[in-house]
Structure 1
Amino acid sequence: MAAAIHINQRIRENAQNLSAALNEHMLKNFAPDARKELRLFSAGETAEMLGISTSFLRKLHFEDRVPEVHTTPGGRRHYSAADLLEIRKILESTAKVKGTYLRGRRDGDKVQVLSFLNFKGGSGKTTSAIHTAQRLALKGYRVLAVDVDPQASLTTLFGYRPEVDFLESGTLYDAIRYDDPLPLSQIIQQTYFTGIDLAPGGLILQEFEHETPQALMNNLQPAFFARMAAVLQEVEANYDVIIFDCPPQLGYLTMSALCASTGVLITVVPNMLDVASMSQFLQMSAELLDVVSNAGASMEFDFLRFLINRYEPNDGPQQQVVAFLRQLFEDEVMIGSMLKSTAISDAGLTQQTIYEVDRSQFHRNTYDRAVDSLNQVNDEIESLLQQAWSR
């Protein structure tokens, strides 16, 4: 007779073994200090992000208008994200039209707060959120990435080990908890990626879901739906854009993030099972948001968009689903789609994004297709931000 398995013990052993293996993987990839560093960018990539030609970039160096950067023995220049920001500031100082090179907030502009969400896991929510944060940062925006998900995938992609670095403290939970909360500024981490700060997530965020029913009974203020917006007020002047990576469920954390948002991006994989799941998600969202709206929450967004994710253009059924969604939601479906790409998947093996990996590591066409699709999506999101600021 087979020995009985104590499931709690077996799960704990699996968790410990997996945690140790992930820790080893992180140390191997980001040794010696287990922290990531961002690669340098080519002159072509730099010019594209600045919105100028490579010949004009060369001219800036020839005229000593910008600082010298890392140059290979063969004479090729490579630029760090900090170099990119410095050149952007120099160009902005002499630009004929204000905001040509620094397109973030101006006096009177409200901070833009974007929620990436879906009821279903595996819809590419975290991948979309981090690529948007990075593209905006490379284009000169000041970005705060907020990991609202207890699974903390966004935090992991920034090179942290949530189960080690933020096991008991240092996460968003410390700022939104009901008992003795900390200022958000005390938990925000400066990341390796110039222009992006992070409010980390971690398993302890789940406590917010458990504590909120009791807090509602005791009428603790601010109420759960207002807590995220309340803690952001302390730091929002430091940022142009705040990006929430929400958990794949419609709980108190997600609703709190939604009530603090100015824009919503719902990621959807174009197959009928995911679309059916999204239908339920939207119905539940509307009903729950009615409740918090009646309780006094603000429900005014500048925009809501559906972002097609993991799209395979040669897949006939997927094309039909996308056409169905466009017919149904019209302009609320984004023009750009995030392609399903081996380049994005392979980059994820080393906990990197497509913007972080070097093109030489991939088949050139595969890499270029992935980058082009991401740029199209993220530049469309940027245009929505600009419209919200009436530009």
Structure 2
Amino acid sequence: MNLVAHKRSIESSADKITRQAQMLSAQLQSIRTRMYPPEAMKSLKTFTSREVSSLLGIAESTLRQMSLDGESAIPERQDNGRRIYTLAQINEIRRHLAQKRPSEAFSFHPQRQRGDKLQVLTIANFKGGSAKTTTTVHLAHYLAIQGLRVLAIDLDPQASLSAMFGYQPEFDVEENQTIYASIRYDEDQRRPLRDVIRKSYFPGIDVVPGNLELMEYEHETPQAIADGVGRGDAIFFRRLGAVISDVADDYDVVLIDAPPQLGYLTLGALCAATSLLITIHPAMIDVASMNQFLAMMSDIMHVIEERGGVLEHDFIRYVLTRHNPNDVPQVNVVALLRSLFGEDVLAPVVVDTTAIANAGLEKKSLYEMAKGSVGRDTLNRALESVDAVNAEIFNHIKSVWGRT
């Protein structure tokens, strides 16, 4: 036996896992650098005139004439003469049209107005595979494309949401750069939320990334409770909502990707939320797991209310994900959920498709996928599905704001 093999044979489990984690982390960093050279940063696709006219609800000829007249944003011209727009330019056109046609301002520029309530949506479930992070990413991208200002908070120590926005937690997110920095108990180390918010490559979306340091909050909170630390907004279940309120004027919607367990971070997310989205894969084992999640959440929410917490949500909706409409058992589960929960189950569903899986491999949403990266029909069907779900959620948000 050579020396290396001998060392491996006496390597402890902890050392082995540490070594393998470091190897995998380095390889992931290498892959990311190859995918997004030279700065290893993601960038957003551009939009054609047809896509822009559809987004804005105006004729393509009107958009073309605006370009010819030098009115608002001037698009780039490709070699074939086609005009392409960035999302920043689309938002500039939105503002221009809202001023030019004040009676239609909300349809062009749907950001919340003075007096409109900041919407904080927590996306939750503790069953793996429920597409919680995928749902969060697609909703964030959809709302930003509609012109809203979105803050996405990664509350999960596994940091999948951060990875989707191009951050590798162990390389790109250093100590005290997560939401933990704003809600931690030692005041001398605490940072304002605005200090840990990062601009993303996606116009309209800011991100608070996560990493393993979020677990510190789970470890420290029981001792803080035992020591009687925290009153009012400083009590553990109000801390997240309190720091979000500090940046409320900067955003229309805050999306929180909650951890896949009912810990103190998730409780803070439930209390901070104005609305809840519960993702569910319509298979019986997943529904059974969700049943336990709901039972535990109910018990804990009652305890929080007894401690003075106020849990009043504008809407609670179940989002059916990864649904195969040709799978009879899944169809039966969907029918069961609709019969039990009625309109609390979103009418549209996210279909199970290779397009979403392929996008995930590239750490992209469907809205970032280039034409030709997957089959056109496959991509279009997937987009129709995700668009329908996100549009209904957006309609619920607009309803809270008093818009039809």
Partner letter of residue 242 of structure 1? V
| Residue equivalent to 1:388 | 400
| Residue equivalent to 1:11 | 17
Partner letter of residue 388 of structure 2? Q
Q: Does 1:99 align with 2:106?
A: yes
Partner letter of residue 48 of structure 1? S
| Residue equivalent to 1:309 | 321
State the shift of 1:4 in Å: 5.6
Residue segments in structure 1 that go unaligned for 5+ positions in a row: none
In 2, Cα distance between equivalents of 1:55 and 1:264? 41
State the shift of 1:51 in Å: 2.5
In 1, Cα distance between equivalents of 2:335 and 2:372? 35
Residue segments in structure 2 that go unaligned for 5+ positions in a row: none
Once the two structures are superposed, the pairs formed by residues 1-391 of structure 1 within 5 Å of their partners are 3=9, 6-95=12-101, 96-180=103-187, 181-221=190-230, 222-391=234-403
CA contact (8 A) 2:67 2:75 kept: no
In 2, Cα distance between equivalents of 1:120 and 1:167? 28
Cα deviation, 1:302-345, whole Å, max 9, x if unaligned, reads 00000000011111111111111111100000011111111111
Give SS of 1:73's match.
Answer: coil
State the shift of 1:71 in Å: 1.3
State the shift of 1:98 in Å: 3.3
CA contact (8 A) 2:119 2:397 kept: yes
CA contact (8 A) 1:175 1:231 kept: yes
In 2, Cα distance between equivalents of 1:53 and 1:17? 53
Give SS of 2:295's match.
Answer: helix
The 10-residue stretch of structure 1 (236-245 or 66-75) with the greater mean CA deviation from structure 2: 66-75
In 1, Cα distance between equivalents of 2:252 and 2:174? 29
Percent identity at matched positions?
Answer: 43
Give SS of 2:104's match.
Answer: coil
CA contact (8 A) 2:182 2:191 kept: yes
Q: Structure 1 residue runs of 4+, over 6 Å off?
A: none
CA contact (8 A) 1:116 1:246 kept: yes
User: TM-score of the superposition, structure 2-length normalised?
Assistant: 0.94
User: TM-score of the superposition, structure 1-length normalised?
Assistant: 0.97
Aligned length: 391
State the shift of 1:65 in Å: 2.2
In 2, Cα distance between equivalents of 1:55 and 1:279? 52
Cα deviation, 1:32-89, whole Å, max 9, x if unaligned, reads 1111111111222222222223233223223432322111111111111111111111
Give SS of 1:258's match.
Answer: helix
Give SS of 1:116's match.
Answer: strand
In 2, Cα distance between equivalents of 1:203 and 1:101? 40
State the shift of 1:363 in Å: 0.6
In 1, Cα distance between equivalents of 2:164 and 2:200? 11
In 2, Cα distance between equivalents of 1:51 and 1:301? 32
State the shift of 1:184 in Å: 0.2
- Distance change (3 Å), C-alpha of 1:390 and 1:67: closer
Partner letter of residue 215 of structure 1? A
Give SS of 2:210's match.
Answer: coil
Give SS of 1:379's match.
Answer: helix
State the shift of 1:97 in Å: 3.1
CA contact (8 A) 1:167 1:203 kept: no
RMSD: 1.4
In 1, Cα distance between equivalents of 2:55 and 2:160? 27
CA contact (8 A) 1:152 1:201 kept: yes
Give SS of 2:305's match.
Answer: helix
Give SS of 1:360's match.
Answer: coil
Give SS of 2:177's match.
Answer: coil
Give SS of 2:121's match.
Answer: strand
CA contact (8 A) 1:37 1:193 kept: yes
CA contact (8 A) 1:304 1:332 kept: yes
In 2, Cα distance between equivalents of 1:64 and 1:40? 19
In 2, Cα distance between equivalents of 1:366 and 1:271? 23
In 2, Cα distance between equivalents of 1:67 and 1:236? 28
CA contact (8 A) 1:167 1:204 kept: no
State the shift of 1:5 in Å: 5.4
State the shift of 1:252 in Å: 0.4
CA contact (8 A) 2:97 2:105 kept: no
In 1, Cα distance between equivalents of 2:311 and 2:48? 43
